[in-house]
Chains A and B, each alone.
Chain A
């Protein structure tokens, strides 16, 4: 449980951090919460030569509303989400998600942006951000750019961030009224990764039909999965038991889970079906049920 040796850097600004990333390239890793990276380093599965600790950069630890978005800064911890009145009121799906990540102690250090940047397909926030239609803000040598979340994850532990870029913020559009979302996760015990998990965010029209559905799947493939066919199916329909059932079925078909110690692929696929239905029902309840 002893990591290999590395050089430690603690830049005071985003610019300085980017400079270091540009200098060291693949030999460097960003340390934010460290709750994914440090365990890997202790097992020597990750052996970065340089660790760039961004925790001393001021102005990155926020959870706030800004121009119609929920903005979560790079150093916002999971516990900050859980304790945010704004998030509890407008984004119960994020409360569901954050409460399912690891355990309360890990959540005091783990960051939301780190959860996204690490891009473990078993991480929880990616599916929820897919369902919410979020975008991330990346800052590198060429300046700042916005990346829609459904373009962000391209493979296991791989995002479209270039080696010199840092994720500084994730932005979630504030949902319209008659919206509701839920994240339903099956884990073997508290602290485990998901055997399967589903994020569902629904916006209803005044007449109760579905205006927009976002469905994200966790640990159901090499990347987090946006269940597009299920989403498209729900579009414009009045959600009832039948439509929910069909959408759940479609989401399961879009998943590509792998067998592991948590279970065989067919179990996980069936779980996706069951959990999608449950997530949708809960989202609809929170949206006001379609009245």
Chain B
């Protein structure tokens, strides 16, 4: 799509250099830990070494004896204000600090408040807690067995560890389809717990002003307004009304979903600040971040596909056990405890499908969706793409041909899936074909055959994913009751410059640039003249924040709609200035002209000036608009990824030879930024596919709780990603855009897993769970008698 505006204006399609960069490359960003206020105190947290234990006693005397330690806050202290428990985003309850018992290793047990960071750390080391260990439950299947220890003893009526049961689809039709199927395949798939590990950890500076009664919190949050409302609801009884709470989300060093939840550290810091009237800083270190903050995945999936011998897919059936940790604190839209998992019919035209998920409590930290995946979309895509590949291989079909045969066709859009989603647009065959051409698919298969003759192991894997993002229409989407609209407020100054504020919060996605480009597109005002702000709840319009790839689909749309409202008013002013009828005016980016008399025109800048100096009588002055956008539907970005791997028979290492990613996110605002999102997303797909997992032993001790064992890929492990695009605009989005932030994280792991299984299929391998570590591959090879 060729840009409609000039490079100077910088509307959609231009790879405008980022407006946020000048401060970052000079080290002048303002991240939460950069905030230093006079008299600021430091909070550090004592954490439980046990996964499940009664707290017998907390001895704070040695800690309090350290000069500079001002207080040690425990659950009993917070209980006085009824702040020891708080609601989760899924309307469950979560401890801020425990009174009775701890329920996961690294759980917050007490907090030390001190004058300096180093003293707070000494204080933490000096606090003595006596625990009485309780039986630990780490296996969610065992947690559901009768007689398993009941974890949530705080819920008086609860007699088991089952949180909820959720199902979707036509069970009867699906079961019938399976009974009648010519072929079926079944596979258990486990997606282990992983952690988003943005390079900046979580933290806040809470600053309560005793005189004004106003609380200001600088916080690593992707959703500042939602946080403000939650604080007002939770702490209203201690005098914090919503107009007296200001949440500032400054520069954020990566979010990816990990900075959506409300962590106990934030609440304790706020309480400490309210009590002392001093600013309180809490910054977690990396091990705390990995061991206690919101995880993602931990889905035990059992999937089945039904089809015909000719390769036609007919039905999908999935049962999942969802390990949620000790409470359901996943930040899902409230109606969907399993998020958008029912996108699992994927890019294929299934006639029948049924999916059920059971949430389970275990002695682990809570969470579930914090890793760049919309809401459980990675789980869904990984499942369907592994299964499609499995059936293709089982039936002897080439995996690309199998997919092409079963794709939803372009003329079927808008497409209603068997699980009720209405996909807005798609051209799946187009993307796959492009990926095949780019990677030279036929040549790769030839190469594979030749290598196989020599006993070398090479595999090719495909992932043709459909994503579902942009939550979401108010009819179905809310978080804690807050509808998932988003907002934009645009104001044009007399000299034609713009300030615009949005309800989202970029953590690296480049909104200061892309939102300016949207406004530039709609109004023809150069990007350089447009200032974008987000993240300060005192000034930004209410929004639900940035996660689940929703900013472009929802807030971006709000920006376009607000800009169009402004254009409507500008037309009226232009008509007045040009003494013409509104209907006789033509718009081109940046100006209105009289039809047939192009010399008679007014630029948007002239119109802006007139809005304050020469507007028609009876019209309000000014040139601004607000839009709260309720999206009519979600958006469905898609793509096809093809991965070629080689396997080292001696060590089991998987080496990615090539990885081609063809993405379709509809109309693109900034191609450079989109590519950056895809590179990053692919790398966050590679990481869980080959490297990352957080596991627990029988006692609930975390394994992989630091960067020593939680393995983030460096530039050496990361392949040289090859990317390309197709463009199938969204018919319902004002800009035809779909969003792209998470596509690659969602689609990539299956391509890699499929490639590995493809490499080993002829040896009898059928499936490998990610992360596909060298050990797993080695075991498989040795089992099949292959060695170096």
- A touching B, CB within 8 angstroms: yes
Which residue of chain B has its CB nearest to the CB of A39?
B708
- Bitwise, A1-29 to B at CB < 8 A (1) or not (0) is 11011000000000000000000000000
Which residue of chain B has its CB nearest to the CB of A193?
B708
> Quick check: B711 and A190 within 8 Å, CB to CB?
no
Binds B, one of A49-57, A112-120, A166-174, A263-271: A263-271
Residues of A within 8 A of B703 (CB): 261
Which residue of chain A has its CB nearest to the CB of B703?
A261
Known: A1-B285, A4-B125. A271 touches B651 (CB 8 A): yes
In this complex, how many residues of chain A approach chain B with their Cβ under 8 Å: the count is 24
Cβ-based interface call for B118 (8 A) = yes
> Quick check: A190 and B716 within 8 Å, CB to CB?
yes
> Quick check: B117 and A263 within 8 Å, CB to CB?
no
Bound-state Cα–Cα, A2 to B42, Å: 13
Cβ-based interface call for B775 (8 A) = yes
> Quick check: A274 and B711 within 8 Å, CB to CB?
no
- Bitwise, B653-675 to A at CB < 8 A (1) or not (0) is 10000000000000000000000
Cβ-based interface call for A232 (8 A) = no
Other-chain contact of B713, A5, A189, A278 (Cβ < 8 Å): A189
> Quick check: B650 and A274 within 8 Å, CB to CB?
yes
Which residue of chain B has its CB nearest to the CB of A261?
B709
Bound-state Cα–Cα, A278 to B691, Å: 24
> Quick check: B691 and A189 within 8 Å, CB to CB?
yes
Bound-state Cα–Cα, A2 to B125, Å: 10
> Quick check: A278 and B714 within 8 Å, CB to CB?
no
Chain A nearest CB, measured from B713 CB (Å)? 6
Cβ-based interface call for A291 (8 A) = no
> Quick check: A2 and B774 within 8 Å, CB to CB?
no
Which residue of chain A has its CB nearest to the CB of B124?
A2
Summarize B's interface: helix, strand, loop or mixed.
loop
> Quick check: B711 and A192 within 8 Å, CB to CB?
yes
Bound-state Cα–Cα, A271 to B285, Å: 35
Cβ-based interface call for A186 (8 A) = yes
Bound-state Cα–Cα, A192 to B691, Å: 12
Other-chain contact of B711, A2, A188, A271 (Cβ < 8 Å): A188
Residues of B within 8 A of A278 (CB): 650
> Quick check: B778 and A186 within 8 Å, CB to CB?
no
Bound-state Cα–Cα, A1 to B117, Å: 10
> Quick check: A44 and B717 within 8 Å, CB to CB?
no
Bound-state Cα–Cα, A105 to B712, Å: 17
> Quick check: A188 and B691 within 8 Å, CB to CB?
yes
Bound-state Cα–Cα, A191 to B717, Å: 11
Bound-state Cα–Cα, A278 to B775, Å: 19
> Quick check: A191 and B714 within 8 Å, CB to CB?
yes
Chain A nearest CB, measured from B351 CB (Å)? 44
Cβ-based interface call for B704 (8 A) = yes
Other-chain contact of A189, B652, B704, B711 (Cβ < 8 Å): B711
Which residue of chain A has its CB nearest to the CB of B714?
A190
Cβ-based interface call for B788 (8 A) = yes
Most buried by A among B717, B778, B782: B778
Cβ-based interface call for B121 (8 A) = yes
Chain B nearest CB, measured from A123 CB (Å)? 14
Most buried by B among A186, A188, A262: A188
Which residue of chain A has its CB nearest to the CB of B710?
A261
Other-chain contact of B778, A5, A191, A270, A275 (Cβ < 8 Å): A270
Can you give 19 contacting A-B residue pairs, CB < 8 Å?
A1-B121, A4-B122, A4-B125, A186-B774, A188-B691, A188-B711, A188-B774, A189-B711, A189-B712, A189-B713, A189-B717, A190-B716, A262-B775, A264-B775, A267-B778, A267-B779, A270-B778, A271-B650, A274-B788
- The 7 lowest CB-CB distance pairs between A and B, nearest first, are A2-B121, A274-B650, A263-B775, A1-B285, A190-B716, A190-B714, A261-B709
20 further interface pairs, Cβ-Cβ under 8 Å (given A1-B286, A4-B122): A2-B118, A186-B653, A189-B713, A189-B714, A192-B711, A261-B704, A261-B709, A262-B775, A263-B773, A263-B774, A264-B775, A267-B775, A267-B778, A267-B779, A270-B782, A270-B787, A271-B651, A274-B650, A274-B788, A278-B650
